[in-house]
Amino acid sequence: MKPKIKFTNKDKTQFFNVLKQRVDNYFIENKISQHANWKMVVKSIFMLALYYVPYSFIISGNTAGWSFWLCWVLIGLGLAGIGMGIMHDANHGAYSSKNWVNRMMGHTVSLVGADLNNWKTQHNILHHTYTNIYDHDEDIDDKVGMRFSPSGKHQKIQRFQVFYAFFFYSLMTLYWTTSKDFMQFARYVREGHNKDIKRDRIKKFIAMIFFKVLYYSYMLVLPLLILDNPWYQIVLGFLLMHAVAGIVLSVTFQLAHVVEGTTFPVPDDKGNIENEWAIHQLNTTADFAAKNPIVTFYVGGLNYQAIHHLFPRICHVHYPDIAPIVEQTAKEFGIRYIYFPTAMEAFMSHLRMLKKLGRNEIRHLAAEMG
């Protein structure tokens, strides 16, 4: 049985108390809500349109040649955009102060074939609480032929993972919509993460199946039934869409945690992490491309991942304004704030980390500084 992780503020630092007070004061002094504003509403409409408008062109038979493939690429970008820019905030309770709005917007992930309940367990609970702690944060657990943590099992084939990683990244959303949810559902019940009574578990399982049937019906079966295109073109377009979405989502999240400078703490035998939770988040998370408004817009503020981990219930449209507060407060307390000026720099750092982890060059708890 896994030991329960406990974060210990051994230095009795007041870092997070001071930071939270300053961030709260920012919203009070400027008389603004921590939730979505008109910019978030516009972004939500844009991301949904990026997904469904190209789909409508395909399903109406108004695409041919290169436009057919372009539409599938755009749908893939829209799928990733919905995940990063809409459902992510909603399922953290950051989209609105009204729970029904968060539930409604959170279900946008259901419309693209994934289960929001499993996602909340994996992301909100396991990833956000136990960031970069091997065997607790599923995001860095060993995958097929992939190693994302110095604590992971090393295999000789992983020397080449920097070359084949993106093939597996491209399968992320396809795997998610086909089998991952079912395996997670069973595992979370078995491990005690799903604490619902049996009746509620059955209801959620039926809902998961319903939304998956709905997704595959309109996204794959319907085009196969009504379009004149050869069946293999439609299937290839569908796979292309998932490949685009998978790579975008995988890379975006990897740039925040599996890069040089982030740490991979190992708890002691009693499950203790000798750091307070907030400092742990800054040690295990990196921000990137904060001054690039296009990146910030498209990835839903996930380039401010450290800010998000500290304040997951604040809508991401506010991250650019509170990031200087976090950076300054961290500096005052002598805490490292990991940042890459551009997405390309973060991307190259991720490639170097894949290479080092694949060659088993990182054997200690903290990743080497970039």
Tokens 């990146």 map to which residue? 295
Distance CA 162, CA 237 (A): 26
For 267, the token pair is 């708890």
* Contacts of 41-44 spanning 24+ positions with Cβ under 8 A: 43/85, 43/86, 43/297, 43/300, 43/317, 44/85, 44/86, 44/105
- Half-sphere exposure at residue 132, Cβ-oriented, CA atoms within 13 angstroms: 30
What tokens appear for 124 in the block?
A: 């909100």
pLDDT along the chain (370 residues), means of 10: 81 92 97 96 97 96 91 98 96 96 96 94 93 94 92 94 96 95 93 89 95 97 95 97 98 96 92 92 96 95 96 97 96 95 97 95 51
> pTM (2 decimals)?
0.93
Mapped onto helix, strand or coil, the DSSP state of residue 55 is helix
Residue 25 φ/ψ, nearest 5 degrees: -65, -35
Using CA atoms, how far apart are residues 327 and 318, in angstroms rounded to an integer?
15
- H helix runs in the chain, sequence order: 15-29, 38-59, 66-82, 88-90, 99-106, 108-111, 116-119, 128-129, 161-170, 172-175, 181-191, 198-216, 222-226, 231-257, 277-284, 293-298, 305-310, 319-332, 343-358
Tokens of residue 345, six digits: 């720099």
Give the DSSP H/E element, type plus range, for residue 315: none
310-325 in b/e form (b: 16+ CB < 10 A) is bbbebbbbbbbebbee
Q: Where along the chain do its domains lie?
A: 32-137+160-261+290-358
Structure-token pair, residue 166: 């993106």
By DSSP bridging, strand 287-288 and strand 272-273 are unpaired
